[in-house]
Copies of this chain bind each other. A is one copy, B any other.
Amino acid sequence: MEFLTGVKQKETVGIQEILEGDYEGKTVRINGAIHNIRDMGEVAFVILRKAEGLVQCVYEEGRTEFDLKTLKEESAVEITGKVAREERAPQGFEIRMEAVKVLAEPDQVLPLAVSKYKMHTSLEARLAVRPVSLRNVRERAKFKIQEGIVRGFRDFLHTQGFTEIHTPKIVARGAEGGSNVFRLDYFGKKAELGQSPQFYKQTMVGVFDRVFEVAPVFRAEKHNTTRHLNEYIGLDFEMGYIDSFDDVMAMETGFLQYAMELLKRDYQKELDMLEVTLPDVSRIPSVRFDRAKELVSEKYNRRIRNPYDLEPEEELLIGRYFKEEYDSDFVFVTHYPSKKRPFYAMDDPEDPRFTLSFDLLFRGLEVTTGGQRIHDYQEILAKMEKRHMDPADIASYLMIFKYGMPPHGGLGIGLERLTMRLLDEQNVRELSLFPRDVNRLEP
């Protein structure tokens, strides 16, 4: 009988291994994709692409037992060669090639120059061949940084006593209502795709006090803007026993502080590659919705058209205001009008036209919506009645209030938007591996 006993030790080496070990002058085997070949006549630079980065390999006629002409870009290979220090190479070393084993070959030549450091190609063109354009090292670096943000979110909340949950995406009824839901037939019943894990994460506060989820969120919004996706990743958390929604904003600030530290520690290579300077998140100002509108109106001479709504342009100006006045890239805007918030938002007892809620703006773009939720059964019934909603429609959600819920609040962060602002990108599609928009269902 054969047995599997754990991870197999590979005979090939990685970049980090070479950097940390004593490999100078030694012959190693290393695998990767041929990213680029620069043929200089008698020598050639063969750049190997690995997940960790690029490795410069040197082909020398007579020394390397292989015909350079048969080597193709995007072939998967295993190279045998000697490690030599070389300050000008990307990793500070190069591999003097002795032999090449071709593991797999492409059928055709790449449709765009993936190996260029910066691809001067339109977003449209890059998305059309996204499966291969992502092989560009700067393209993929964006998603390493995105990975870092998600790790930061989970790791930080874990230290704060949160439990990770997984809630269903096929639901009987979306949490936000409205028209922007995708509908489907579920064995003869009408179903929807979850617009947010709102109802379920609140439910789980009754079970685990503090919970979070990282999962897809679906919004059938018809507008095709640079900041909307029809499917995106929501970083959601919800916490019980709060004193006020300040606790939620404080927790998000803690997350951002943790995440920036983690990026600095583990993703500096990618940050450098994309020339990203991490924002200062040691303190984040908070301002009331109505006050923010006034400040911007005064400073930038802008008439307030609708006192109950923020236009995207106003958001940008609020971002600008807090950058100029407080040197902050972030600002919490609090006390949104009740009309603009879902029924489960808790109204401010001091002025029920407003809610105990907030958005977080990052360089003028909303990246988070959160707040305190109603926890009292009669209160939520009353609010639903005022909005002409039928409690029978969401009975299984209302059950949690009927049988008791602690005071609680939470938030949802749009991962792609947060990454977009962090990397100073202009289109949220840049930060989604395979974006879904009104016109795009593939790749």
Bound together, the chains give a CA A208 to CA B51 distance in angstroms of 5
Does A397 sit within 8 A of B, measured CB to CB? yes
Given contacts A166-B216, A403-B108, A442-B396, contact A1 B230 (CB under 8 A): no
Partner of A103, one of B241, B282, B284, B415: B241
Partner of A131, one of B3, B189, B396: B396
Inter-chain contact A131/B399, CB cutoff 8 Å = yes
Inter-chain contact A104/B253, CB cutoff 8 Å = no
Inter-chain contact A140/B186, CB cutoff 8 Å = no
Inter-chain contact A286/B4, CB cutoff 8 Å = yes
Bound together, the chains give a CA A103 to CA B74 distance in angstroms of 62
Bound together, the chains give a CA A252 to CA B5 distance in angstroms of 10
Please, what's the 1-or-0 string for A74-89, where 1 marks a CB less than 8 Å from any CB in chain B? 1110100000000000
Inter-chain contact A286/B231, CB cutoff 8 Å = no
The residue on B at minimum CB distance from A203 is B131
Interface residues, chain A, with chain B CB atoms under 8 Å away: 1-8, 12, 14, 31-33, 50-52, 72-76, 78, 103-111, 129-132, 134-135, 140, 143-144, 146-147, 150-151, 154, 158, 160-161, 163-172, 182-187, 189, 191, 193, 200, 203-204, 206-210, 215-216, 218, 220, 222, 230-231, 233, 240-241, 246-247, 249-254, 257, 282-287, 326, 332, 375-378, 396-397, 399-407, 415, 432-436, 438-439, 441-443
Inter-chain contact A150/B164, CB cutoff 8 Å = yes
Inter-chain contact B404/A75, CB cutoff 8 Å = yes
Bound together, the chains give a CA A165 to CA B433 distance in angstroms of 8
The residue on B at minimum CB distance from A114 is B403
Instruction: Please give the distance in Å from A19's CB to the nearest CB on chain B.
Output: 14
